Homo-oligomer: A and B are copies of this chain.
Amino acid sequence: MKAIAVQPGAGIPEIVERPVPEPAPGEALVRIHRVGVDGTDYEVIEGSHGGVPDGDERLVLGHEAVGIVEDANGTALEEGQYVVPTVRRPPADVETNDYFERGEPDMAPEGEYVERGIVGAHGYMAEYITSPADTLVPIPADLAEWGFLVEPISITEKALEHMYATRSAFDWQPESALVLGNGSLGLLTVAMFTTTLDYDRVYCLGQRDRPDPSIDIIERLGATYIDSRETPLSEIPAAYEPMDIVYEATGYAKHAFESVDALAPNGVAALLGVPADWSFEIDGGRLHRELVLHNKAIVGSVNSNRDHFEAAVDTLAALPKEVFETITTGIYGLEAVDHAFPKATTTVPAGHGSTTVPDDDTTIKTAVEFTGI
């Protein structure tokens, strides 16, 4: 079968031949429909995050997948059922650990997990995958074409659960939310705040010029677009209003700290990005004081567990399809797979012939299609 693999830091993704995997007891065989591409994939391609399984040179990419059960292999799944696989698995040398036993692999520290398509385990960009039945979350057939969005939505489901938990010791009635970043995760989150969470006032911070499809969808959702070149994060409370929630999906490290200023009293900032080292000056005294005197909180959130995937399937059903159509700027078959990675501009070492498609600034989210529905 064909798969899409990368040698992290040494090239752009390429099509490789792999044997069709055999499901072990308790696993099902899944025929992959579509797999989304996100910022983490680019970090893996560049070699700045993640890594190949021990003994391998290449990593099969992909962690945002949807497929159809081809062989239930005696599990409770039904053949022909569409499913979305979760991402974390126990490390190669152990069968399970406390985090997986509790259904909370998203809370496992480094070393206690691998992530399919990211670190230590091959991903889902292949014609077939196998996975334990309890890691395959059913999704209705009529949503399957957008099933590759379940994983990113599950990331926000988890962040929301943790944000609300931080504020659960008192009567908190949030009305305003600011999403930092108008990439696909930011836009899905804006849609969740305006639609399923029914916030009164939702804002999205970005850096794009009009006309732009992401600005259009922000405004069609009833949210307000804020251009960070005109209104920096820390000036948003004065220009608009202080925010009950700030949701950071930029990976821009200064946002973690400027968020404190953007919050309303008793507000919470969720951090989702994974920036590289970067030293800069802050007024740490003021930020510390502000956190204390206004009971503010910051919560980091990574990955998601099966409960969040299940919530994400419900959210996917509730969001307007128009959002998915706008966000998904391209779905490419294997014959055009380079177009699915328009931002993979890694310099290709001599001897590795590949093409690099420049980022044309119209791409929001792409996916690779292995089999049609």
Q: Is the CB of A278 within 8 A of B272?
A: no
Q: Give Cα A162–Cα B295 distance, bound, in whole angstroms.
A: 9
Among the 9-residue stretches A51-59, A181-189, A285-293, the one with 4 or more Cβ atoms under 8 Å from chain B is A285-293
Out of B264, B278, B285, name the residue touching A285 (CB < 8 Å): B278
Q: Residue among A256, A282, A287, A299 with the most chain B CB within 10 A?
A: A299
Q: Is the CB of A302 within 8 A of B295?
A: yes
Q: Which of A273-288 contact B (CB under 8 A)?
A: 273-288
For residue A292, which residues in chain B have a CB less than 8 angstroms away from its CB?
Answer: 271-274, 300-302
* Cβ proximity bits A139-169 to B, threshold 8 Å, 1 near / 0 not: 0000000000000000000000110111111
A89 at the interface (CB under 8 A from B): no
Q: Is the CB of A283 within 8 A of B278?
A: yes
A100 at the interface (CB under 8 A from B): no
Among the 9-residue stretches A101-109, A121-129, A224-232, the one with 4 or more Cβ atoms under 8 Å from chain B is A101-109
Q: Is the interface of A mostly helix, strand, loop or mixed?
A: mixed
For residue A277, which residues in chain B have a CB less than 8 angstroms away from its CB?
Answer: 283, 285-286, 289
Q: Is the CB of B279 within 8 A of A291?
A: no
A171 at the interface (CB under 8 A from B): yes
Q: Residue among A106, A253, A279, A284 with the most chain B CB within 10 A?
A: A284
Q: Is the CB of B296 within 8 A of A254?
A: no
A176 at the interface (CB under 8 A from B): no
Q: Give Cα A283–Cα B284 distance, bound, in whole angstroms.
A: 12
Q: Give Cα A101–Cα B35 distance, bound, in whole angstroms.
A: 51
Q: Is the CB of A281 within 8 A of B283?
A: no
A323 at the interface (CB under 8 A from B): no
A331 at the interface (CB under 8 A from B): no
Q: Give Cα A86–Cα B301 distance, bound, in whole angstroms.
A: 36
Q: Give Cα A20–Cα B161 distance, bound, in whole angstroms.
A: 52
Q: Give Cα A170–Cα B107 distance, bound, in whole angstroms.
A: 8
A337 at the interface (CB under 8 A from B): no
Q: Give Cα A279–Cα B266 distance, bound, in whole angstroms.
A: 24
Q: Is the CB of A284 within 8 A of B287?
A: no
Q: Give Cα A45–Cα B109 distance, bound, in whole angstroms.
A: 46
Nearest B-chain residue to A257, judged by Cβ: B284
Q: Give Cα A298–Cα B284 distance, bound, in whole angstroms.
A: 14
For residue A209, which residues in chain B have a CB less than 8 angstroms away from its CB?
Answer: none
Whether A285 touches B253, Cβ cut-off 8 Å, given contacts A102-B171, A302-B295, is yes
5 more A-B residue pairs beyond the given contacts A253-B288, A288-B300, with a C-beta to C-beta distance below 8 A: A102-B170, A256-B291, A271-B291, A275-B289, A296-B299
Between A and B, 11 residue pairs with Cβ closer than 8 Å are A110-B265, A164-B169, A165-B168, A166-B297, A256-B287, A275-B285, A278-B284, A278-B286, A279-B281, A280-B284, A296-B299
What are the 9 tightest A-B residue pairs by CB atom distance, in nearest-first order? A278-B285, A291-B300, A109-B265, A165-B169, A256-B288, A253-B285, A292-B300, A166-B166, A275-B285
